[in-house]
Structure 1
Amino acid sequence: MHIAQWIAAIPPLAVYVTIGLIVMIESLGIPIPGEIALVSATLLTIHPSSAVEWEYIAIAASAGAIIGDSIGYSIGRKGGKPLFEWLGRKFPKHFGPSHVATAERAFAKWGMWTVFFGRFIALLRIFAGPLAGALHMRYPKFLIANALGGIVWATGTTALIHYVGEVAEKWLSGFAWVGLGVALIAGVCVSLYVKHRAGKAMAAPAEEEPAELR
């Protein structure tokens, strides 16, 4: 099947629901590649044969991020620190003591903004909700940072990939797969740069008094 026919056959609703669920599951604290799925889905929007629209992908991802983080917050609030100790024993690669310590330092230094910036950093993205709950951050503060982070991350990522890909598609219209590949590489490079800058600031040891989380 030609790529144009394959893309045209994908039901847009299925794409939106799938992306929303993947992002929500990742935001719960389960380490799955939500950002890769978001980028991949957005790449579909640059092809003329696709009925998938990047605006709806952004809405679905935003909703998934906000809902998933809120559920993760509730889980962390109920489970507390013992939950992370148990996860560290079961999944040391993702929830080891060093990872938890890094996330806690970020919360101590930045408070609610850790939730906002954490949406752009893979490690903090899975920790933000549950750890905010475990540290008893006040929910109104958490919700504001959670909503802002989810919307900015989802909308910024999808808009960037879509418009960069659109330009690439015009220049490489005769090579559909090449156009998609160029868009993916450009999007990943920008995403990695943003993560590097944000991660460098957030992972630095706290030099100030812990921010008030309550």
Structure 2
Amino acid sequence: MDFASISSSLIRLIQVHGPWIISVVVALESAGVPLPGETILVAAALLAAATNQIDIGIVVAAAAAGAIIGDGIGYTVGRRFGMPLLRKYGHYIRLDENRLLIGRYLFFRYGNAVVFFGRFIAVLRMFAALLAGANGMPAGRFFLFNITGGICWACVFGFGAHAVGTEIYKISETLSLVSLGLFIGAGSALSIIVRRYEIVLLRQAQRALPDG
């Protein structure tokens, strides 16, 4: 599917279902389901910049709420059922043994920062909450970084995309759609880089945690 098709599909989804669909998609992604949470946030922000169909404040609030709720669900599942559940069923959401080891290593090395900054990284965004719970991160500390991270992420990508879209739309409506394609393309490129960096992280994790 090309960028134009992705853009049209996401915008249509938002137009039909309204802001709540943003919360749902972001929440599911945050809980571990592989969905385009960040992309739908950017699409909604650009739609808000180009039309009066949706308010950017509502877009950001919906995304932040979805991020916080979804991470809360992921954390609760990880805390309640732990590594045994993730080892047994994690492959269904692309959370295999290697990624579990990387997750343990990241929490061992960076601690709280993984929950906050993981929100801004494609792969970690889906798994950070699950891994935080499974690795026994205290609930109070988790929710502090979860809430602040979710709000910051929604503001950065929501208001940021809206500002860019507003300026571009002044020049051309066509360029506004191009900007969405560029955002999606940048996200795809970042995902490729992150996947390649996983190999490096895995080697570091294997050295730091030889017992697996």
TM-score range, shorter chain: 0.7 to 0.9
User: Does structure 1 retain, via aligned residues, the 8 Å contact 2:122–2:191?
Assistant: no
Cα distance change of structure 1 residues 33 and 187 upon mapping to structure 2, 3 Å threshold: closer
* Distance in 1, Cα, partners of 2:189 & 2:119: 13
Return 5+ residue gaps in structure 2 as ranges. 1-7
- Structure 2 SS opposite 1:116: helix
- Structure 2 SS opposite 1:56: helix
Q: What's the CA shift string for 1:147-177, capped at 9, x where partnerless?
A: 11111111100111111111111111xxx23
Residue identity matched to 1:83: L
Q: What's the CA shift string for 1:111-136, capped at 9, x where partnerless?
A: 11100011011211111111111111
Structure-2 residue corresponding to 1:38: 41
Number of residues of Structure 1 aligned to a counterpart in Structure 2: 196
Give the deviation of 1:182 after TM superposition.
2.4
User: Does structure 2 retain, via aligned residues, the 8 Å contact 1:121–1:195?
Assistant: no
Structure-1 residue corresponding to 2:120: 120
- Structure 2 SS opposite 1:46: helix
Give the deviation of 1:195 after TM superposition.
10
Report % sequence identity. Answer: 34
Structure-2 residue corresponding to 1:82: 84
* Distance in 2, Cα, partners of 1:20 & 1:74: 18
* TM-score computed with the length of structure 1 as normaliser: 0.79
Residue identity matched to 1:150: G
* Distance in 2, Cα, partners of 1:195 & 1:51: 34
* Distance in 2, Cα, partners of 1:195 & 1:136: 30
Residue identity matched to 2:81: G
Structure-2 residue corresponding to 1:177: 174
2:167 matches 1:167: yes
More helix as a share of residues: 2
Choose the corresponding residue for 1:72, options 66, 71, 74: 74
Question: Relative to structure 2, which stretch is displaced further, 185-194 or 53-62?
Answer: 185-194
Cα distance change of structure 1 residues 150 and 141 upon mapping to structure 2, 3 Å threshold: same
Return 5+ residue gaps in structure 1 as ranges. none
